[in-house]
Amino acid sequence: MCSWYFSKVKQSKLFVVGDVHGCLKTFQALLDEHWDPKKEILVQVGDLINRGRYSVDTVLFCKELETKYPGRVAFVKGNHEWDMLQYLLGSPRLKWLRGGGSKILRDLTKKPENYGPFLTWIKDLPLVWENDTVHVSHAGWSLSSPNPLEEDNSLSVLNNRRPIRNIDKTQIIGHTPQKNGKPKFDKKANCWTIDTGAYLGIGLTGVKVSKKGKVKEICFIPTIKKDLP
C-alpha cells in the first residue's frame, strides 16, 4: 500500500474538496457547479465515508471519476477509512460503527458484489498527496509528532488536532469541522482547514488553488438534505 503520492503531472491548478462523509448528492453538486476537470486536478482530503447516507455509493462514484478522468483526480485516506480497515482486521472500533459503520456494512451485505472493489480501493488510498507547492492530507503535519505517517497515532496525518507544522508548502486538510461554514487559514503554518461540516447539515467546501499553491477561490454548497441520515 502506497502511503505517499507525489504528483508527476506538470504543475496544474487544483480543486481541493473537504470531508464528504457520505454526502454524495452534495459532493456531486459541488463538482458540477465548480470543478473544471480540463483545467484542474481534483484532490479530496479523506473521510469520504461514515456519517452521511451514501458512503458506499460515494466511494463507487470516486472510482468512476478515476476511470473517467485518469490522472485528473486524487483521494487521500481519512481516519474514518482507516478505522474501517482496522475494524475489518478485528479491532472493535465502536465509535466507527456508531458513526455510520454499521450502515456501510449493511449496504455492502445487500450488494456483496461491491464489497471487493470498495475495500480494495480504500486500502490503496495514500496518506498524502502533494506536488511542488501543495501538500494535502487529512489532518495535517503535526508540529509535535516525530512521525506523522504512523497511522494509528493521535498525532498522525489521519488524526492530528494539535498545531500544524509549516513544511514550506501550502497544506490543505480537513478533519476538524468549521461549524461557521468557512474554511480556516493558519498563516503561521500556511495551512487551510476546509472541512465545513457536510454531515452536520452545514455544507461542503472546495478551494481553487493556483499553480503556485495559493488559494484563489472558496466554493461552498449547503448540504443537500437527502444526504443526511
pLDDT for 179 equals 97
Residue 118 sits in a domain of what CATH number?
Answer: 3.60.21.10
Place of cell 476537470: 37
pLDDT for residue 149 is more than 60: yes
pLDDT for residue 53 is more than 50: yes
Q: 87 burial class (0-12, 13-18, 19+ CB within 10 angstroms)?
A: middle
pLDDT for residue 38 is more than 50: yes
pLDDT for 7 equals 61
Q: Nearest 5 degrees, angle CA 170-CA 180-CA 209?
A: 25
pLDDT for residue 81 is more than 50: yes
Domain count for the chain, please give it. 1
78-82, 89-93, 135-139, 156-160: the lowest-pLDDT one: 89-93
Strand partners, 130: 6, 135
pLDDT for 5 equals 64
Range of the domain at 109: 4-227
pTM of this prediction?
A: 0.95
Place of cell 452536520: 200
